[in-house]
Structure 1
Amino acid sequence: MQQIERFLLQLRAENKSAHTLDNYQRDLLSFVAFYLTQNQSDAKGDTQSSKNGDNSDQAWSYQTLMAEPQSVDWTQVGVRLIKDYVMDCVKSGLGARTLSRHLSALRSLFGFLMAQGLVQTNPALLVKAPKVPKPLPKSVDVDQTRQLLEQPIDGWHAIRDQAIFELLYSAGLRVSELVALNLTPGLDGLAAGTVQVRGKGGKMRVAFVGTKANQAIQAWLSVRGQKLQPEQSEQAVFINQLGGRLSARSIRVQLDKRTLQAGLDTKMSPHRLRHACATHVLESSGDLRAVQELLGHANLSTTQIYTKLDMQHLAKVYDQTHPRARKNQTHNE
């Protein structure tokens, strides 16, 4: 406990916030409570002192440790004990973000102890923190999406950007997939309403393209050659002013401009358009597996071995549910 107090004093000298100090103290005492409980259980097993229901064991907790500080032999704390602590926290329902903070506190403490020559290694560095789930972006409703996409189109920039935004939303593409999209084989299936993109891990997948997106792409292809020099043979579908492949950063900048043009009081991004595609199809169809196939989610690869949806079924779900697909052609026009 003395080492923890000295560690916290150093953090205070480094002008760490009171909030950080309180969290680190609580997190470290939580680990100490686990450490003492484990040692107590081991001693109990060795001596067989707990017979006939003897309940003399100390109930270690943050409160009891604050009232009765205990000594800890940090040289005896190894990777196995810290992993057991992590598992205990997970079983108790501790969130990934909070548990990551606990491990950060332990790593920092062991770093301090090593600097003081009190321990030789930092076992907490060998324990991985659980992944903190990334929250999905806030969805954009159909009306907002339509407002974004149905803006006046003037000039080759606007024609290109219209094709980009329609494709991001229609096919649910990642911006990296769109940037890497080539004329061949990417647009070989455009007449049939599909594009071929290279997804995560370099795997090729087929994505569906609705009528509005298809029309926007055709409009762009009709003017794309204006920005190419006679000697250029650029294969990228979407090119910049100089005839080179368009960057993801440029797409984000143009999307910001379109959002302002549409008067939308929200922050848009290519990923929000991808998420909107998934949300709108799911809301209409209720078919989560179809949506996951449409987006090419890699984390479903194991499941897909057993339950692979065929392209005909995916096309049917897409055409019947996506707001910019064929069933909405008459309504949108």
Structure 2
Amino acid sequence: MAVPNSHLISEWLGSFLDHLTHERRLSPRTRESYARDLQAAASWLEQQQIVNWGHFTQQQVRHYIASRHRQGYSPKSLHRELSSLRSLYNYLLRENLVQANPALGVRAPKVRRKLPTTLDADQLNQLLNIDDNSPIGLRDRAIMELFYSSGMRLAELIALDINHLDLNEQIVEVTGKGAKTRLLPVGRKAVEAIREWLQVRGEMASDEETALFVGVRGRRISRSTIQKQLHEWSVRQGAPRNIHPHLLRHSFASHLLESSGDLRAVQELLGHANISTTQIYTHLDFQHLSEVYDKAHPRAKKKSSE
């Protein structure tokens, strides 16, 4: 049986999602993630005969998160769902629709943070040493070189237009999360690969297509095409593991931090809003330092067998 006034649940949720699209200018993908999380909470509210978001108490939020945990949702997913709830209630508070944010102070189960996987320099050279001068081969090499050279996200690379690049200055303008733009340097190898791709791009691109990278139909390349091509190249080049865009981004960040030690610079290049997100790479760097120490320090070396 329908709950009286339960339309307020969907109405307020719809207003918040419109706010994400038109005011915060979040990407459709991010908006859908919020919608998924909050629709699950809305369904639970209606099952509990709770008529609107203003009646959701902190204790009930705890019960909701516990029920999701029992259903098998991971701590990482529950952290994201709580974050979505907090964002919703911050919006409802600003609109004077609720009196408090019940998601504040509620904790999800602790997430065991995994260190990102990276490739070393030799493995990357093996991957990028592509001997294929077909338009697709040149395109894919340019994509991989640009990923590793700049550390940009998959969505950022897909959104690139030709006019976002200045190859003479070796910079590219990308639009990241929250529609924030930033300038990234592009390394010499990536510039060379992009120049080679641009020489044959006209053989694939449809008329008036502005995208830097295009698929076989001449339109802007898709996420699935890039992911599929990277997987195929990882097999063809004998890479030690499956290659995906975020692996190249992780490798960029780890290698840059290892060489420079400048965490703030890496944060800016990656487009992280919070430096705590970037600090995961300091653990990778410490792993490397530990290995160097074990091999080099006189008091750490293992005794050789006599």
User: What is the TM-score of this pair, normalised by structure 2?
Assistant: 0.55
Identity percentage of aligned residues = 43
Counterpart Cα distance in 1 of 2:142 and 2:239: 19
Checking the alignment, whether the CA contact within 8 Å between 2:61 and 2:103 is kept in structure 1 is: no
**SS of the residue aligned with 1:161?**
helix
Question: 1:203 Cα deviation (Å)?
Answer: 1.1
- Would you say 1:251 and 2:229 are equivalent positions? no
Checking the alignment, whether the CA contact within 8 Å between 1:79 and 1:126 is kept in structure 2 is: no
Question: 1:204 Cα deviation (Å)?
Answer: 1.1
Query: 1:127 and 1:143, CA in 2 relative to 1: closer, same or farther beyond 3 A?
Result: same
Question: 1:294 Cα deviation (Å)?
Answer: 1.3
Q: Pick the aligned partner of 2:134 from 133, 149, 155.
A: 155
Question: 1:211 Cα deviation (Å)?
Answer: 0.1
Counterpart Cα distance in 2 of 1:162 and 1:254: 10
- Would you say 1:173 and 2:152 are equivalent positions? yes
Q: Pick the aligned partner of 2:242 from 267, 285, 299.
A: 267
Aligned residues: 190
Checking the alignment, whether the CA contact within 8 Å between 2:235 and 2:242 is kept in structure 1 is: no
User: What is the TM-score of this pair, normalised by structure 1?
Assistant: 0.51
- Would you say 1:138 and 2:113 are equivalent positions? no
Checking the alignment, whether the CA contact within 8 Å between 2:257 and 2:266 is kept in structure 1 is: yes
Counterpart Cα distance in 2 of 1:228 and 1:175: 20
Looking at CA atoms only, which structure, 1 or 2, has the larger radius of gyration? 1
Residue type of the alignment partner of 1:209: V
- Would you say 1:233 and 2:194 are equivalent positions? no
1:287 corresponds in structure 2 to 262
Unaligned runs of 5+ in 1: 1-77, 86-95, 102-123, 302-333
Query: 1:80 and 1:182, CA in 2 relative to 1: closer, same or farther beyond 3 A?
Result: closer
CA RMSD in angstroms, aligned pairs only: 3.3
- Residues 95-106 of structure 1: matches in 2 within 5 Å? 97=75
Checking the alignment, whether the CA contact within 8 Å between 1:200 and 1:298 is kept in structure 2 is: no
Residue type of the alignment partner of 2:189: K
Checking the alignment, whether the CA contact within 8 Å between 2:172 and 2:183 is kept in structure 1 is: yes
**SS of the residue aligned with 2:202?**
helix
Residue type of the alignment partner of 1:97: P
Deviation track 1:198-236 (CA, whole Å, cap 9, x = no partner) reads 11111111111000000000000111011234xx20000
**SS of the residue aligned with 2:218?**
coil
Counterpart Cα distance in 2 of 1:289 and 1:126: 29
Checking the alignment, whether the CA contact within 8 Å between 1:174 and 1:271 is kept in structure 2 is: yes
Counterpart Cα distance in 1 of 2:62 and 2:149: 47
Unaligned runs of 5+ in 2: 1-55, 64-73, 80-101, 277-306
